[in-house]
Amino acid sequence: MRLNISKLLVIGIWLLVIAATVSPVASQTPTSVIRDSVKNKVAAELAQIRQAVAKKGFVGSISSKSDATITLTTMQNTTRTATVATDTVIKLAGNKDGTPSDLKTGDYVLVMGDVDSQNTMTAKRLLVIGKPPEEKRRVIPGSVTKVSATSLTVQNAKESWTIRISSSAKYTKNTKLSEIKVGDKVIVIGTVGTTANSLTALLVHEPSPANP
């Protein structure tokens, strides 16, 4: 935990003031009022310092590392830094014990520990985990440029998509694939295929034409 040295000096001075002004008199005197005020300020400063360090967890892939520091890139494309010490508990794939030297760029990790006010973590525990699957569901709006017995080709302002239409595909209207024509406007929800710009349709929607 990194403490602000100037704050520690102020706290020390306040504690000395408290010690010097302790009075055995039970009644509320000006001295006791000052003492109580200083005591409350000390408590507030200590609470602020404690709040500067919080228990947190970082999740992301290791984008760079040194002997004692790793930098993570999260799924939100933000950067997080963690200090990994020799006493950090490290678990590799298969729950095997590891050391900082076992960590590699590209590893997807969960890091837990203390985070200071600069958002830098002192790692207590680090787990190498599998990267969660990316969301493969997409929404493709556009105009139909080609129709076949099992697929549509849909063009929008950015790109062209090949839409596979299986028997399990649903329609929001009483529509069949054979009723969709070139030039129709559609919105297709489906899962991305292994081929670029390919989609297996889950739902096909034909918006109502705009009123003239």
Encoded tokens for 56? 């947190």
pLDDT at 63 over 80: yes
pLDDT value of position 53: 44
Radius of gyration of the chain (CA): 31
- Number of residues assigned to the chain: 212
Q: Taking a C-beta distance cutoff of 8 angstroms, is the pair 82, 113 a contact?
A: yes
| pLDDT tens, residue by residue, 185-200 | 999 999 988 888 999 9
Q: Taking a C-beta distance cutoff of 8 angstroms, is the pair 163, 201 a contact?
A: yes
pLDDT value of position 157: 85
Per-residue pLDDT band for 206 (boundaries 50, 70, 90) equals: confident
The mean pLDDT of 114-118, rounded to a whole number, is 84
The mean pLDDT of 27-34, rounded to a whole number, is 63
Q: Taking a C-beta distance cutoff of 8 angstroms, is the pair 123, 82 a contact?
A: yes
Number of helical H runs and strand E runs in the chain = 2, 13
Domains plus CATH for the chain?
5-51 (no CATH), 54-128 (2.40.50.140), 137-205 (2.40.50.140)
pLDDT value of position 188: 92
Give which of 159, 151, 203, 160 is closest to 180, Cα–Cα.
151
pLDDT value of position 19: 54
> Which residues are registered as beta bridge partners of 1?
none
pLDDT value of position 3: 47
The mean pLDDT of 148-155, rounded to a whole number, is 93
**d(C-alpha 17, C-alpha 13), whole Å:** 6
**d(C-alpha 18, C-alpha 68), whole Å:** 42
Instruction: Write down the H helix ranges in 22-163.
Output: 30-51
The mean pLDDT of 176-185, rounded to a whole number, is 90
Instruction: Write down the H helix ranges in 21-155.
Output: 30-51
pLDDT value of position 33: 65
